[in-house]
Amino acid sequence: MTSQVQKTIVVVGATGNQGGSVANTFLASPNWRVRCLTRNPSSEAAQALSTAGAEVVQADLSLEPSLSEAFQGANAIFVNTDFWGTYRARIAAAQTDASAPSSAVVAFDTEVLHGKNAAIAASKVPTLERFVYSSLPPMRKLSQGKYGQSYHWEAKSVIVEFIENELPELAKKMSVIYLGAYNTNPMLSPRLDPSTGAYVFAMAISKDRKLPIVDARESTGPFVKALIETEPAGTKFLAYDSNPTIEEIVGIWSRASGKEAICKQLTIEFMHEQLKIPMELLEAMAFIEEYGYAGDMGLVEPDGLSTKVQTKPFEEWLKEKDWTEILEKGK
């Protein structure tokens, strides 16, 4: 898909971590025009994209016609749908209304609607060459139904299945990117145990399990650019900067911080009942412990790309942090 003729990429979710990375990566390429979709073009993030050279267009994922208009003339479309905005808003609403529906179910339904609308609109664009959707592995399918109540995973996999089953022509143009755990994930930040002076990684994943880690703000864009420009349609790609075991993560953190750290494996039940962590988050840990991050999907990994994408390893990212502030927060 490489060409000296300028093409247009439309970025859905451009004011977020992933979409912002994609927008900024393509803005740096003279071969691409960048159109960013947002519900609020006057927001600070949207204005920053406009200043950087992007065309900022108002659109609403709840309204498929607004997307059809915004997608006109697109050669490539990147879509990242959001679960957490709705989830957090519904939790806040539930505090004042005990009869409110489950926050996770409402967020699931909303995200699926948004993803389907984006896909339907994209399927009508005659100029479209590549559609890239940001997903997570299909937990329910891979575990044969054992896991599937982690709705922020399931919503994205339902959208991929909808495209593959209901929009076959769009599916022929689709590549899917599965991002690893964000490097900012709280699970990757240990807490100080005052009784021992050690920092403790408390999680329900054993030390020999691998956990792919990615800097979504920086690495999503370069990976998506490779999927669009050099990789074949249909590529399903596991995006990460580093893919260490849990034990290796502890060592990486200790080297970067200069502090002793240990890993303590807890049960899902303890973390839910005693630490009050919602099952929405914990079920993903249980799935990873039993099946690995992507089960047996056989996804293409960074070394399998035809063009090498240079990103910053997790340890290098950690070493650049302000450790005085980080360690103070970890107490």
Convert the pLDDT of each residue in 174-223 to its tens digit. Answer: 999 999 999 999 999 999 998 988 899 999 999 999 999 999 999 999 99
Domain edges within the chain: 7-329
DSSP string, 211-224: --EE-HHHHHHHHH
Give the per-residue pLDDT at 288: 97
Phi then psi dihedrals of residue 309, to 5 deg: -105, 120
**CATH topology for the 7-329 domain:** Rossmann fold (3.40.50)
Give the per-residue pLDDT at 94: 62
Element (H, E) at 77: strand 76-79
Q: Beta-carbon neighbour count of residue 14 at 10 Å?
A: 26
- Which band of pLDDT confidence, cut at 50, 70 and 90, is reported for residue 229? very high
Convert the pLDDT of each residue in 260-269 to its tens digit. Answer: 999 999 999 9
pTM given for the model: 0.94
Sign of CA dihedral 59, 62, 64, 65: negative
Q: Where are the alpha helices (DSSP H) in 95-193?
A: 103-123, 139-142, 151-166, 168-171
Convert the pLDDT of each residue in 36-87 to its tens digit. Answer: 999 899 999 999 999 999 999 999 999 999 999 999 999 999 999 999 999 9
3-state secondary structure of 243: coil
Whether residue 235 contacts residue 305, with contact meaning beta carbons closer than 8 Å, is answered with no
Give the per-residue pLDDT at 102: 84
DSSP count for the chain of H helices, then E strands = 14, 12
Give the per-residue pLDDT at 37: 96
Q: Beta-carbon neighbour count of residue 31 at 10 Å?
A: 13
